[in-house]
A and B are shown apart, each in its own frame.
Chain A
Amino acid sequence: MNTKQTIAVIGATGNMGAGIARNLSKGNYRLLLCANNQEKLQALVQDIRRHNAAADIEAVDCTVEASWEADSIIVAVPYPAEKEVADKIRKVANQKSVISISNPLNAAYNGLTTAPDTSAAEELQKLLPNSKVVKAFNTVFAADFATPVLDGKQVDSFIAGNNPEALQTVAELVSAAGLNPVIAGDLSVSRTLENMTVLLIQLSMKYNYNWLAGWKVLHH
């Protein structure tokens, strides 16, 4: 596609948000970054520009403005903060792809706080009934964005959602971020995807992966 898509990244100064923003800034995207800490946000924007002078990137001091201007919105905030973001962007996110990257981890990192019959992504969809919520990026660690190829293999990033067009849009985003997009199924598959991250975290702690690990489906 030639026409540049505008992507809002809410919570851009977090490890995940910053990783996504850094990698997407190399693609044909216009990025609008939002965060609570403006100083940190400015520093991130300057750092991205220093590494890539051609980056079409801007710090926006208002989540609503950025989401209004965006074609797709990446909600890169912790699960407990999603409701507040959803309340802010509900009107301007109407019909847009909204990407849920969070994992509703418990304090011990050994389970999820959501009930077994739901997921962070499905809860976000309930809060944004007219948006196309897509689960993505939740199964990768922040460090994977700087090193998306591990042991010679490109890390898989699983995607789940109910709208075929939104899934396609997000698959392109995942690909532009340097990861291998794998469309896993409808939004309820997010339950599995969020639990996969619990396991990855457990393994990372147990075997000391140094938070540089990812999933790869091997197939013929």
Chain B
Amino acid sequence: MYDLFFQKFREKVPLSVEEEQQIKSYLTPKKLRKRQYLLQEGDICKTLAFVEKGALREYSVDNGSEHIIQFAVEGWTISDLFSFLTGEPAIYNIDALEDSELILITRTAHEELLQTQPKYETYNRVLITSAYVALQRRLTASISLSIEERYTNFTTMYPDIAQRVPQHMIASYLGLTPETLSRARKKMTTRK
């Protein structure tokens, strides 16, 4: 139930059995079925969600169109971080693309772990740092690369996600209409 969570944790910070037990007592195991929401816009994001199994996406909606800001598959963490940390209403929706098994960490559990378990703090520092780097990369890609480069970049960096989610969602993630992405992919195939 917690296997991948602690495997990923240990890759960042080694843990003793006792430390693992202590951290485990704060975690909430939760199953989510395909198309169910973990979070809807306007609600307060109460948890960080680690994906033990399955796939989720986080997106905003304006004028009926969805803008995907993140996918999360096994080993990833997903949340509306601003809402989680401030208690302000979330501006994102998070739902399951597949039946999923999650490990949730509530705000209270997160705060208590930060105070009582230095290794959890280190784990979080590493997690947030990597997420920040990934975000910088994503920003650079979306403002400076061509459409084809953006697509190739995405499928090279995240081949597992590219194979599991439908093309129109990848288009949304890359800031493109499905038609634009489809044309670009066609062009890439003919060039080969």
* Contact code string A61-95 (vs B, CB < 8 Å = 1, else 0): 00001001101000000000000000000011011
Among A1, A65, A95, which residue has its beta carbon within 8 angstroms of that of B27? A95
Kindly state whether residue A2 has any CB partner on chain B within 8 Å. yes
- Contact call B28/A2, Cβ cutoff below 8 A: no
Task: Give the chain A neighbours of B27 by CB distance below 8 A.
Answer: 94-95
Q: Per-residue 0/1 for A1-18: is the Cβ within 8 Å of any B Cβ (1 yes, 0 no)?
A: 111100000000000000
Cα distance, A30 to B40, chains bound together (Å) = 15
Size class of the B contact interface (CB-based, 8 Å): 20 to 34
Contact in complex: A2, B29 (CB < 8 Å) = no
Given contacts A4-B37, A69-B33, A165-B108, contact A95 B28 (CB under 8 A): yes
**Contacting residues, chain A, for B109 (C-beta < 8 A):** 95
26 contacts between A and B (CB under 8 A): A2-B41, A2-B42, A2-B43, A3-B37, A3-B38, A3-B39, A3-B43, A68-B29, A69-B30, A69-B32, A69-B33, A71-B30, A91-B1, A91-B29, A92-B1, A92-B29, A94-B24, A94-B25, A94-B27, A94-B28, A94-B29, A95-B26, A95-B104, A96-B28, A130-B25, A165-B108
| Chain B residue at minimal CB-CB distance from A68 | B31
Main secondary structure of the interface of B (DSSP, over half): mixed
What are the interface flags for B39-55 relative to A under an 8 Å C-beta threshold, 1 for contact and 0 otherwise?
11111000000000000
Nearest CB of A to B25, in Å:
5
Interface residue B106 (Cβ < 8 Å from any Cβ of A): yes
A165 and B104 CA atoms in complex are apart in Å by: 15
Partner of A3, one of B26, B33, B40, B104: B40
User: In the complex, what residues of B have CB within 8 A of residue A4's CB?
Assistant: 36-37
Chain B minimum-CB-distance residue to A30: B36
Residue of A nearest to B41 (CB): A2
Q: Which of A1, A2, A71 has the most CB of B within 10 A?
A: A2
Residues on the A chain within 8 Å of B104, using CB? 95
Nearest A residue to B37 via CB reads: A3
Q: Is the CB of B41 within 8 A of A68?
A: no
Closest chain A residue to B31, Cβ basis? A69
**B41 neighbours in A (Cβ, 8 Å):** 2
Residue of A nearest to B99 (CB): A69
Assembly CA distance A91 to B1 (angstroms): 9
By a CB distance below 8 angstroms, the chain B residues around A95 are: 26-28, 104, 106, 109
Of residues 1 to 45 in B, which have CB atoms within 8 Å of A's CB atoms? 1, 24-33, 36-43
Question: In the complex, what distance in Å separates the CA atom of A1 from the CA atom of B42?
Answer: 8
Q: Verify A2–B40 contact, CB threshold 8 A.
A: yes
Chain B residues within an 8 Å CB radius of A65: 31
A126-163 CB contacts (< 8 Å) to partner B: 130
